[in-house]
């Protein structure tokens, strides 16, 4: 099995937060079991560990705040493991669970803002390139059109 690329790791990292959030407060216990104790639990181990977060940070996919909050989320989530609160019916009523869900939402929001800023930065860069290139392209085309016109006439 080949190792995941950094882009794939980042995609999986981002998808991790789709299984944990305040949306779970509206879910039934079966869905909470699935999302938190099957999906998020495994993804937390794989994508919210120090090594993974450090590689995403060094590659520029995440910033220090996202890394630190992700590590905090993982730590809080793991702290409830092997306790009486590691049950779906506790998620809606036990404050530490609600703190975990809110923190997950906060990280997801930070990721969306970072992604939007990256897209905006790319768009602005492309506009700058086009502002330089379009006059060059058009002037080159103007010369070609004049040449073709002379050949036709």
pLDDT (tens digit, 9 = 90+) per residue, 1-28?
678 899 999 999 999 999 999 999 999 9
For the chain, which residues make up each domain, given as ranges?
6-111
Q: What is the pLDDT of residue 112?
A: 83
Q: What is the pLDDT of residue 3?
A: 87
Phi–psi pair at 4, nearest 5 degrees: -70, 145
CA distance 148 to 143: 9
CB 24 within 8 A of CB 101: yes
Q: What is the pLDDT of residue 113?
A: 77
Q: What is the pLDDT of residue 101?
A: 98
Q: What is the pLDDT of residue 34?
A: 97
Q: What is the pLDDT of residue 2?
A: 78
CA distance 32 to 82: 17
Segments of the chain scoring below 70 in pLDDT: 1, 114-123, 125-127, 129-149, 153
């Amino acid at each position: 099995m080949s190792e995941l690329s950094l882009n794939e790791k980042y995609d999986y990292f981002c998808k991790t937060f789709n299984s944990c959030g305040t949306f779970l407060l509206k879910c039934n216990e079966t869905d909470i079991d699935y999302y938190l104790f099957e999906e998020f639990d495994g993804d937390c181990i794989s994508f919210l560990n120090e090594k993974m977060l450090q590689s995403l940070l060094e590659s520029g996919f995440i910033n220090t705040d996202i890394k630190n909050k992700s590590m905090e989320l993982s730590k809080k989530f793991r702290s409830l493991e092997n306790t009486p609160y590691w049950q779906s019916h506790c998620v809606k009523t036990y404050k530490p669970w609600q703190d975990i869900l809110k923190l997950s939402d906060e990280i997801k929001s930070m990721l969306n803002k970072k992604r939007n800023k990256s897209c905006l930065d790319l768009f602005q860069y492309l506009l700058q390139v086009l502002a330089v290139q379009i006059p060059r392209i058009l002037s080159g085309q103007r010369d070609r059109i004049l040449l073709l016109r002379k050949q036709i006439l």
